[in-house]
């Protein structure tokens, strides 16, 4: 029997839909975006204003709150618009396969003369007060009022998005954010993003896979406790007496972001800001129960940082005090000790993997999601740490020092004395014995006994070489050699809104070769995910197998055959000779229409590192239908 404190901790760490996980400073939470499934069966309804929000963000370097005025999402029914303590993060949308999500965006921002005709080059950041919405990772219609990022919702305009979630959509962790070309980075870095969770209950059968949600149950049949951790780099700055940008906002000043002078290599480390969790900087997360298995849904909703997620047992009783970002490496050494807690990664980008991978670090690039089964082995405090990583693994192209993300406390429960991997394996086997149908229980249990395999829960079948019907090549580049500026390109061309770069057949199966000629970039394609076949370094070594060594960079080993929608395309230098070659395969299923692929360093996308893709019907003769009749 759990103690009263443990029962409270379990309830708090498994919040209801649309409520952010409680954090420090009064356990502040975003207002509820409630929806009545009884009144509107099968529908999830959100009505959100896009407007300027007056908020405050804790600055550990000064031990005070900075006032900011940033663009954000607000419940259209909210009567009090102030809400200084409300975090700058969107609500968590909670949905089930077969339901419809309707999101009405009401653009309440001021008019913007740079929107539309006369706005200058399409690849010059512009239209900062226009907006739209992207449901990142969802397998839904990209056209009309579906997941359409090619529409522009101008100031004063309302528009309703409608995401019809297929009944066979994989359960998992997804997210949403603005995606208007020219202003995406500025709006996302203001905190305009939120998690989108699809909860499934499909039982695997002898012939079809199911949702891992059916396995992750407590003995009483309830879902295990979970945490949704939206990781953001919220950008803002002030001006000094000479009108120059400064990250040292003084009392009385209001920080903001109104141009792209806060983006570029090294700008995030130079700002001295801290990555936030659910809009809170260095927050105290809701307590956990020692020995309890929790599902942590991590979403990298930032623009310009690489997060290498670690959990360390905290030692001593030192308070945070005034803590500058540059000093956190020393603070972690003194207060977080050497005891790194392993956890079991079960999904990447919302898609369940073929086996649980035990890790002490999980690298999240912008756009990534990682689902992990976490067990805090004993009562006490634990540090959540953004660990150091090689320069080649980092968006900022330099080896960052460690950063503190927050603290979580485990209350008394059932302490874990042995290896966490064995404890987790035994727990999963026990869960399978309780939850799985008789015709699949034996297979699921045998899989779990064999390296914690999850073959009954992988949402997409492997794509074999013999199934491939076409080839695609993609090369990222930043051209710094042409006179007149820097050009962000894919396959030698900056983005052109009027050009269709790839016309691909519905139900085709392509093998893509992905490279970068100039530093590294996270590749993201909308609608259909891809399976990683191999990741070959410049010396010709495949570093994607579990246990491979990529010169100490932990992000690629273990990705072979994993399904994702966003992937780091690595080049540790500025010359094609140092680039990696990545091979992935994908199916174009169910949906026709136009969407985009792009670099998920979003200021790169805003400046031209994007392409238009059209999926269309085949013509029956080996080509595609290109006309309208």
Rounded to a whole number of angstroms, the CA Rg of the chain reads 23
DSSP 444-509: HHHHHHTTTB-TTT-SS----GGG--EEEEEEEEEE-SSTTS-EEEETTB---TT---EEEETT-E
CATH of 4-24+33-198, one of 2.60.40.420, 2.50.20.10, 3.40.50.300, 2.60.120.10: 2.60.40.420
Q: What is the dihedral of CA 321, 322, 323, 326, to 10 degrees?
A: -150
Beta strands, E only, 178-292: 194-198, 226-232, 238-239, 245-246, 254-255, 276-277, 280-281, 283-284, 288-289
Provide the pLDDT confidence category of residue 620 given band limits of 50, 70 and 90: confident
Instruction: Tell whether the model's pLDDT for residue 443 goes beyond 70.
Output: yes
Spatial separation of the C-alpha atoms in residues 142 and 164, rounded to whole Å: 11
φ and ψ at residue 165, rounded to 5 degrees? -80, 120
The span from the first CA to the last CA of the chain, in angstroms, equals: 68
pLDDT cut 70: percent of the chain above it: 91
Spatial separation of the C-alpha atoms in residues 560 and 531, rounded to whole Å: 8
Lowest mean pLDDT among 69-78, 208-217, 369-378, 574-583: 69-78
Q: Which residues pair with 310 in a beta bridge?
A: 385
47-57 b/e with 16+ CB inside 10 Å = b? bbbbbbbebbb
What was the pLDDT predicted at 317? 77
Instruction: Tell whether the model's pLDDT for residue 429 goes beyond 70.
Output: yes
Provide the pLDDT confidence category of residue 81 given band limits of 50, 70 and 90: low
Q: What is the dihedral of CA 285, 291, 295, 299, to 10 degrees?
A: 40
Q: Decide the pairing of beta strands 380-386 and 307-313.
A: antiparallel
Indicate the class that CATH gives domain 278-415: mainly beta
User: Taking the model in full, what pTM does it have?
Assistant: 0.93
Question: What average pLDDT does range 267-285 have in this prediction?
Answer: 91
pLDDT cut 90: percent of the chain above it: 75
Instruction: Tell whether the model's pLDDT for residue 349 goes beyond 80.
Output: yes
Instruction: Tell whether the model's pLDDT for residue 514 goes beyond 80.
Output: yes
134-152 b/e with 16+ CB inside 10 Å = b? bbbbbbbbbeeebbbbbbb
Instruction: Tell whether the model's pLDDT for residue 18 goes beyond 50.
Output: no
What was the pLDDT predicted at 85? 77
Question: Do 278-415 and 4-24+33-198 have the same topology in CATH?
Answer: yes
Instruction: Tell whether the model's pLDDT for residue 355 goes beyond 80.
Output: yes
The answer to whether 272 and 393 have CB atoms below 8 angstroms apart is no
520 burial type by CB count under 10 A (0-12 exposed, 13-18 middle, 19+ buried) = buried
pLDDT digits (tens, 9 = 90+) for 557-603: 999 999 999 999 999 999 999 999 999 999 999 999 999 999 999 99
Q: Decide the pairing of beta strands 403-411 and 283-284.
A: parallel
Residues 6+ apart with CB under 8 A from 526: 134, 142, 147, 149, 565, 595, 596, 597, 613
Provide the pLDDT confidence category of residue 619 given band limits of 50, 70 and 90: confident
Taken in order 402, 357, 564, 210, the sign of the CA dihedral is negative
63 burial type by CB count under 10 A (0-12 exposed, 13-18 middle, 19+ buried) = exposed
Alpha-helix residue ranges (DSSP H) falling in 134-236:
184-188
**DSSP helix/strand/coil, 260:** coil
Instruction: Tell whether the model's pLDDT for residue 414 goes beyond 80.
Output: yes
527-555 b/e with 16+ CB inside 10 Å = b? bbbbbbbebebbeeeebbeeebebeebbb
Spatial separation of the C-alpha atoms in residues 370 and 239, rounded to whole Å: 37
Beta-sheet strand order (sheet of 502-505) = 502-505, 610-616, 593-599, 521-525, 566-569
Instruction: Tell whether the model's pLDDT for residue 627 goes beyond 80.
Output: no
The single-letter DSSP state of residue 391 is G
**DSSP helix/strand/coil, 58:** strand
What was the pLDDT predicted at 62? 86
Spatial separation of the C-alpha atoms in residues 327 and 334, rounded to whole Å: 11
- Domain locations in the chain as residue ranges: 4-24+33-198, 278-415, 470-616
Spatial separation of the C-alpha atoms in residues 397 and 571, rounded to whole Å: 10
Query: What six digits make up the tokens of 593?
Result: 């229409």
What was the pLDDT predicted at 628? 52
The single-letter DSSP state of residue 562 is -
Q: Which residues pair with 511 in a beta bridge?
A: 471, 585
The single-letter DSSP state of residue 217 is B
User: 18 vs 288, which has greater pLDDT?
Assistant: 288
CATH of 470-616, one of 2.60.40.420, 3.40.630.10, 2.60.40.1120, 1.10.10.60: 2.60.40.420
Question: What average pLDDT does range 316-328 have in this prediction?
Answer: 80
What was the pLDDT predicted at 604? 96
Within 13 Å, how many C-alpha atoms sit on residue 155's CB side?
15
């Amino acid at each position: 029997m759990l103690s009263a404190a443990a029962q409270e901790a379990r309830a708090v760490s498994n919040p209801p839909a649309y409520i952010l996980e409680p954090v420090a400073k009064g356990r502040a939470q975003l207002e509820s975006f409630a929806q009545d499934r009884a009144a509107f069966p099968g529908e999830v309804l959100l009505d959100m204003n896009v407007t300027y929000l007056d908020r405050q963000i804790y600055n550990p370097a000064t031990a005070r709150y900075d006032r900011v005025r940033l663009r954000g999402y607000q419940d259209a029914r909210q009567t009090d618009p102030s809400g200084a303590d409300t975090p700058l993060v969107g609500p968590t949308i909670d949905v089930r396969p077969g339901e419809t999500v309707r999101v009405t965006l009401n653009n309440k921002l001021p008019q913007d003369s740079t929107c539309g005709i006369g706005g200058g080059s399409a690849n010059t950041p512009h239209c900062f007060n226009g907006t739209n919405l992207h449901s990142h990772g969802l397998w839904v219609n990209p056209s009309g009022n579906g997941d359409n990022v090619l529409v522009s919702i101008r100031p004063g305009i309302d528009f309703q998005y409608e995401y019809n979630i297929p009944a066979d959509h994989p359960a998992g962790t997804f997210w949403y954010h603005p995606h208007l070309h020219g202003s995406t980075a500025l709006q996302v870095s203001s905190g305009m993003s939120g998690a989108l969770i699809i909860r499934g209950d499909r039982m695997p059968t002898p012939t079809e896979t199911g949702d891992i949600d059916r396995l992750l149950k407590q003995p009483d049949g309830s879902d295990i406790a979970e945490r949704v951790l939206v990781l953001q780099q919220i950008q803002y700055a002030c001006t000094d007496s000479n009108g120059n940008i400064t990250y040292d906002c003084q009392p009385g000043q209001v920080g903001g972001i109104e141009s792209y002078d806060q983006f570029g290599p090294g700008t995030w480390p130079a700002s001295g800001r801290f990555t936030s969790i659910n809009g809170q900087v260095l927050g105290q997360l809701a307590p956990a129960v020692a020995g309890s298995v929790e599902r942590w849904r991590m979403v990298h909703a930032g623009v310009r940082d690489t997060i290498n997620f670690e959990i360390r047992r905290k030692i001593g009783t030192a308070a945070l005090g005034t803590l500058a970002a540059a000093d956190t490496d020393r603070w972690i050494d003194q207060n977080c000790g050497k005891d790194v807690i392993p956890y079991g990664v079960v999904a990447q980008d919302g898609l369940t993997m073929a086996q649980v991978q035990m890790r002490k670090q999980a690298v999240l690039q912008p756009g990534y999601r990682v689902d992990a089964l976490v067990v805090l082995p004993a009562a006490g405090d634990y540090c959540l740490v953004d660990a150091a990583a090689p320069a080649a693994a980092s968006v900022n192209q330099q080896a960052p020092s460690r950063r503190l993300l927050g603290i979580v406390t485990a209350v008394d429960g059932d302490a874990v004395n042995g290896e966490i991997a064995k404890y987790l394996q035994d727990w999963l086997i026990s869960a399978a014995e309780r939850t799985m149908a008789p015709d699949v229980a034996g297979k699921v249990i045998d899989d779990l006994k064999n390296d914690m395999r999850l073959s009954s829960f992988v949402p997409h079948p492997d794509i074999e070489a013999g199934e491939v019907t076409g080839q695609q090549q993609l090369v990222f580049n930043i051209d710094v050699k042409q006179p007149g500026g820097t050009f962000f390109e894919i396959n030698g061309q900056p983005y052109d809104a009027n050009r269709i770069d790839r016309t691909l057949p519905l139900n085709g199966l392509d093998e893509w070769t992905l490279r970068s000629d100039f530093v590294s970039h996270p590749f993201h394609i909308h609608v259909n995910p891809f399976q990683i076949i191999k990741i070959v370094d410049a010396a010709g070594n495949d570093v994607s197998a579990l246990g491979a060594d990529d010169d100490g960079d932990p992000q690629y080993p273990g990705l072979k055959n994993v399904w994702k929608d966003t992937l780091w395309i690595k080049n540790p230098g500025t010359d094609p000779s140092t680039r990696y070659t990545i091979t992935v395969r994908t199916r174009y299923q169910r949906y026709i229409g136009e969407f985009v692929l792009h670099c998920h360093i979003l200021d790169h996308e805003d400046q031209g590192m994007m392409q238009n893709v059209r999926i269309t019907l085949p013509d029956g003769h080996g080509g595609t239908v290109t006309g309208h009749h």
